Structure 1
Amino acid sequence: MRILPLLLVTLALAAGCGSIPKEERDPRDPWQAYNRAMFKFNTDFDNAFFKPAAKGYQAIVPEPIDQGISNFFNNLADINSAVNNALQFKLSRAGTDVGRLAVNTTVGLGGFFDVATNIGIPSYKEDFGQTLGYWGIGDGPYFVMPILGPSSVRDTVGFAGDLFVDPLFNLNEDEIYWGLVALRAVDTRAGLLESGDLMDEAALDRYVFVRDAYLQRRRSLVHDGNPPADEDYDLFWDEDAIDR
């Protein structure tokens, strides 16, 4: 199956809620016991599989080829971005996404070369989590997804929408699908090797560092880089957002 079994997530949530000292609780993170346990599992899984694979990939793949592969997957992501900009009625941005896709797919040889950026066409990379946030859906509790990592209830729902639009997810050949998914995962992880090492050196509590960075970044993305100076964390519905 192509979707992670949500039953395991539900059981882990039921088993992991509680036992966090009061002074360490964060209203955005009511499931911290589960989240920390899943974060540790993901870290161990990454250290055992993804990180070695990413280092090997980086060592054997020439930099121009590595960049071309990253460009290819970024080009596919513009499809999802165009759909979500349209759903947010940001029609000029949706048109820009379509323009990027057209230029990179043709002149850029299937997206292997990022011609669009080189000629000044901006990249937005909107997703369904951002679209839900734009229409007033609050983050919901912070939630660490198995293997996939930091998320929130809203962004986890949005992830299902992203899968629906993802061209890879709609491939009929499972062998090609899983091969491309694995390549995308390893390519993405290879691009994070240096930042991951810096984070390990800087963070006193790696879990808190990742959580706070994720929530801050997602809030900025939902507000197109201009979030309010202060915001109460309405976990499910932001009434002011719908008035934008």
Structure 2
Amino acid sequence: MKRLGAVVAAAALTAGCATAPAPAGDTASAPARLVSPADPWENWNRKVFAFNDTVDENVVRPVAEAYRDYVPQLVRTGVGNVLGNIRDAWSAVNQFLQGKPADGLEMSARVVTNTTIGLFGLLDWGTQLRLDRRSEDFGQTLGVWGAGPGPYVVLPLLGPSSVRDTAGWPVDRLFAPSRLPETDAGSYAVLATELLQARSDLLDTTQLLDQVALDRYSFVRDAYLSRRLDQVYDGAPPLQDYGDEGDSPAK
């Protein structure tokens, strides 16, 4: 769910790519839906997307709304800061793995700052000191190493992804906040907190998505792929050859 916040940040750039689905019972007069070469599994992906929407609408969103409405903002901010500080440590590792030692050192300094004077990340002193967060994950690292994204895929409950990012996800989870507790109960509690925090942060964003997207599926897909391309190249992707879906940096 956290990915959705990032994809909507790129959605304005890809809104023109979204097409409305054909109305039921009017397939003869409705225009054919554009097929993305990056999404050969679209039929299956749309079914998973619809399943995720149903779970979100009936379970996840109502719980996240209750969390937002009844837990004070100060507490939610502190929880988000602590979880973000833990993820920053893994981002620093990925910076080094990608051959960016300067960024890795800056992220490491951010983690040390927030862990010490920031009371284990409760306070975000790193941002105040202009040690900006540059989040990285293992999927991005694989992209920098030369792995192409592969086909787009929607994962049950987890949302938009690609074959490459799906391969990197288990590695990311090895260093997730929920791995820190020594008991299963503690791990599940932290995981639930991660999900609640992420979904509550996205309530306004998903409301906007509902309002502006003609076809929510293609809107999210195109924004996700554009965002991940931008992340692999640190904001400076090359001009694309539309006959090649690869987005890994050339060696």
* TM-score scaled by length of structure 1: 0.86
Unaligned runs of 5+ in 1: 1-20
Q: 1:48 aligns with which of 58, 62, 77?
A: 58
Q: CA deviation at 1:170?
A: 5.0
State yes or no: 1:229 paired with 2:239. yes
Structure 1 counterpart of 2:171: 161
Contact persistence 2:177–2:191 (CA under 8 A): no
What is the CA–CA distance in structure 2 between the aligned matches of 1:157 and 1:182, rounded to whole Å?
23
Structure 1 residue 195 corresponds to structure 2 residue 205: yes
Task: Report the CA distance shift for 1:58/1:113 in structure 2 as closer, same or farther (over 3 A).
Answer: same
Q: Identity, % of aligned pairs?
A: 41
Compare relative contact order (CA 8 Å, sep 6+) and give the higher one, 1 or 2.
2
Which residue in the other structure is 2:111 paired with? 101
1:133 equivalent among 127, 139, 143: 143
The answer for the alignment partner of 1:92 in structure 2 is 102
Q: RMSD over aligned Cα, in angstroms?
A: 1.7
Shift of 1:167: 4.4
CA contact (8 A) 1:82 1:97 kept: yes
Q: Which position in structure 1 is the counterpart of 2:183?
A: 173
Which residue is equivalent to 1:27?
37
Partner of 2:21 in structure 1?
none
8 Å Cα contact 2:142/2:168 also seen in 1: yes
Task: Give the letter for the 1:131 counterpart.
Answer: T
Q: How far off its partner does 1:168 sit?
A: 2.4
* CA displacement, residues 133-158 of structure 1 (integer Å, 9 cap, x when unaligned): 11111110000011010000000001
Distance 1:22 1:133, change over 3 A: farther
Q: CA deviation at 1:110?
A: 1.0
Letter of the 1:190 counterpart: S
> What are structure 2's unaligned runs of at least 5 residues?
1-30
Per the alignment, residue 14 of structure 1 pairs with none
Q: Deviations over 1:28-65 (max 9, x none)?
A: 00000110000000000011111001100000111111
Q: Measured at CA, do residues 23 and 42 of structure 1 come closer, stay the same or move farther in structure 2, by a change above 3 Å?
A: closer
- Given that 2:91 and 2:134 are in contact with CA atoms closer than 8 Å, whether structure 1 keeps it comes out as yes
In the alignment, which residue of structure 2 is the partner of 1:3? none
Tell me how far apart the structure 2 counterparts of residues 40 and 155 of structure 1 sit (CA, whole Å).
21
In structure 2, the partner of 1:147 is 157
- The corresponding residue for 1:115 is 125
Aligned to 2:153, what secondary structure does the other structure show? strand
Q: Deviations over 1:90-110 (max 9, x none)?
A: 011111111111110111111
In structure 2, what is the Cα distance between the partners aligned to 1:152 and 1:233? 18
154-163 vs 229-238, greater mean Cα deviation? 229-238
Give the residue type in structure 1 aligned to 2:178.
L
Does 2:225 align with 1:215? yes
In the aligned structure 1, how far is the partner of 2:118 from the partner of 2:44? 44
